[in-house]
Chains A and B, each alone.
Chain A
Amino acid sequence: MIRDFSIVLENMDRLLVGLMNTVLLSTTGIFLSLLIGVAFAAALMSENRVVVRPTRALVDTMRCIPFLLLAYLVYYALPSLGLNFDNWTSGLVAIVIYNAGYMAEILRGVWAQLPRESIDAGSAFGFYGRNLYLRIILPQVVLAAIPMIGNQSIQVIKDTAFLMIIAVPELTHAASSIQSKYYVPFAAFISAVALYWAMCSVIEAGVRRVERIAQVRR
């Protein structure tokens, strides 16, 4: 067993490349899906049915289907519509679309619970439309939603592992290739688990940090 782990250690660079890809996919995915989620949340809270309906349909669909299925759809099915992405880009696109739906629903849920008072004050002082949303509503919504955004971010990191099935060289894929080459399954995958656990701990620590900043701003 110790020998197994030393083999893994020798191949650490491969594992780290996989880790880097996971981190890259996750952070880009979280960031972009949050941006789009902000726009979708505004659409969901709109009074315009033409805007609400399709957004609602998209968000609900994303919450109904498995992530892997969406990744397959993007990778295998989109080419027949003319959109050809490589596996890495397909993975990223799937992550962004899938989680934009979840982020939108999180933000919308928090927004609906937000006390009207500060928004009323915004309107009374002459804020409206995009100004009201970006400067008054959104900061408060995001601050209140931090724990849920943190949870969703952990989910994103875990979902990237599915992409190994379409040969994206992320962490699990790296562990799997070390495993199959040297036949050290326990050591390889335990190392991967340890690294996933480390990433999630970083996010949880980050959430705790931001929560302390957010507390005084509520």
Chain B
Amino acid sequence: MTDAADRDEDGLPTLRVLGLTKTFGDNIVLDGVSLSVSKGKTVCVLGPSGSGKSTLLRCVNWLERPDQGAIFLGSTRVGFRNAGGGILMTARELAQVRARMGMVFQHFNLWPHLTVLENIIEAPMHVLRRPREKAVHTAETLLKRVGLIDKRNDFPSRLSGGQKQRVGIARALAMEPEVLLFDEPTSALDPETVGEVIAVMRTLSAEGRTMLVVTHEMQFARETANEIVFIDRGRIVEKSAPQLFFASPQTERARQFLQRYSVR
């Protein structure tokens, strides 16, 4: 599906997921899932609740350990020191890989004891060891971009859901990550505030950020994604360009899904 123009410098897609399998007890949540995100592209993962979408994302940065399969960020295998997957990474190495990926959570997961500004500079200063002035400068630029510069000294408890999520996006961007992971970023928001967050995500995609987005927002997926990955019950059922997926889904399950979540 990808051509030469989309490749990274070293020829590899930014993010590769190969044969990902994860079971919780008897429950097979992910079964041999494979996908890739090339540099500058937006891949949207769609699917009914319980299809394993969130687990997929949490496996990518090793918040959950997959039972089988491999995840590659560039040429680095996530979780293992060697590409073959025999030797586990140390906590330090894992942290370093995670710092190269920016994650935006469904429930924002802001640090409540820190102000908005402190939330954004915390990881750049204490994980990437950037000097304070640089971190603050970056943070303020990002806050202006998401329209929240006047909230810089507020605590997350004072913010609305949409505002918290925009801070969450700014926090992820501050790490200058190679890929942005979005875990149903608007699912916990009131309908009125969904728009403000979607707007920011649209801009990021248009800028050429590399994004993997798990979402229910069909309109956003149709208009912004370079590729749609449809997952049902842990398996990839369809993988295609959005125009194709929404206009003429190839499988029955995709058809049923689209009927229920019909795009206005």
Q: Known A131-B126, A136-B111, A139-B113; judge A124-B158 contact (CB<8 A).
A: no
- 19 CB contacts below 8 A, A to B, read A117-B107, A117-B109, A118-B112, A122-B111, A124-B61, A125-B98, A125-B99, A125-B122, A126-B95, A126-B96, A126-B175, A129-B91, A129-B92, A135-B126, A136-B111, A139-B113, A216-B157, A217-B155, A218-B157
Q: Specify which of A125, A129, A215 is in contact with B123 (CB 8 Å cutoff).
A: A125
CA distance A125 to B104 in the complex (A): 10
A123 in contact with B63 (CB, 8 Å): yes
Q: How far is the CB of B37 from chain A (nearest CB, A)?
A: 17
Is the C-beta of B110 less than 8 angstroms from some C-beta in chain A?
A: yes
A218 in contact with B109 (CB, 8 Å): no
Chain B residues near A140 (CB-CB < 8 A): 111-113
Report A's interface with B, CB cutoff 8 A: 117-118, 120-129, 131, 135-136, 139-140, 143, 215-218
Report B's interface with A, CB cutoff 8 A: 61, 63, 91-92, 94-96, 98-99, 101, 103, 105, 107, 109-113, 122-123, 126-128, 155, 157-158, 171, 175
Residue of B nearest to A135 (CB): B126
5 A-B pairs closest in CB distance = A126-B99, A121-B109, A126-B127, A125-B123, A117-B109
CA distance A4 to B95 in the complex (A): 69
CA distance A120 to B98 in the complex (A): 12
CA distance A44 to B171 in the complex (A): 31
9 additional A-B pairs beyond A121-B109, A121-B111, beta carbons within 8 Å, are A118-B109, A120-B109, A121-B105, A123-B63, A125-B122, A126-B99, A128-B91, A131-B127, A140-B112
B103 in contact with A125 (CB, 8 Å): yes
A217 in contact with B107 (CB, 8 Å): no
Chain A residues near B107 (CB-CB < 8 A): 117
Q: How far is the CB of A178 from chain B (nearest CB, A)?
A: 47
Q: How far is the CB of A133 from chain B (nearest CB, A)?
A: 12
A127 in contact with B126 (CB, 8 Å): yes
Q: How would you classify the secondary structure of chain A's contact residues: helix, strand, loop or mixed?
A: helix
Q: Specify which of B99, B101, B126, B158 is in contact with A216 (CB 8 Å cutoff).
A: B158
B105 in contact with A127 (CB, 8 Å): no
CA distance A217 to B99 in the complex (A): 25
Q: How far is the CB of B222 from chain A (nearest CB, A)?
A: 28
CA distance A124 to B175 in the complex (A): 11
A123 in contact with B109 (CB, 8 Å): no
Chain B residues near A217 (CB-CB < 8 A): 112-113, 155, 157
A121 in contact with B103 (CB, 8 Å): yes
Chain B residues near A218 (CB-CB < 8 A): 112-113, 157
A128 in contact with B112 (CB, 8 Å): no
B105 in contact with A117 (CB, 8 Å): yes
Q: How far is the CB of A135 from chain B (nearest CB, A)?
A: 6
Chain B residues near A216 (CB-CB < 8 A): 155, 157-158
Q: How far is the CB of B213 from chain A (nearest CB, A)?
A: 16
CA distance A93 to B21 in the complex (A): 54
Chain A residues near B157 (CB-CB < 8 A): 215-218
Chain B residues near A143 (CB-CB < 8 A): 113
Q: Known A117-B107, A120-B105, A217-B113; judge A127-B123 contact (CB<8 A).
A: yes
CA distance A128 to B91 in the complex (A): 7
Which of B113, B127, B158, B175 has the largest count of A CB atoms less than 10 A from its CB? B113
Q: Specify which of A121, A128, A215 is in contact with B92 (CB 8 Å cutoff).
A: A128
Q: How far is the CB of B107 from chain A (nearest CB, A)?
A: 6
Chain B residues near A129 (CB-CB < 8 A): 91-92
B63 in contact with A124 (CB, 8 Å): yes
Chain A residues near B105 (CB-CB < 8 A): 117, 120-121, 124
Chain A residues near B101 (CB-CB < 8 A): 124
Chain A residues near B123 (CB-CB < 8 A): 125-127
B98 in contact with A124 (CB, 8 Å): yes
CA distance A215 to B158 in the complex (A): 11
Residue of B nearest to A116 (CB): B109
Which of B92, B103, B127, B175 has the largest count of A CB atoms less than 10 A from its CB? B127
Q: Specify which of B63, B99, B171 is in contact with A120 (CB 8 Å cutoff).
A: B63
CA distance A162 to B103 in the complex (A): 54
Q: Specify which of A126, A131, A215 is in contact with B98 (CB 8 Å cutoff).
A: A126
Chain A residues near B111 (CB-CB < 8 A): 118, 121-122, 136, 140
Q: Specify which of A118, A135, A215 is in contact with B110 (CB 8 Å cutoff).
A: A118
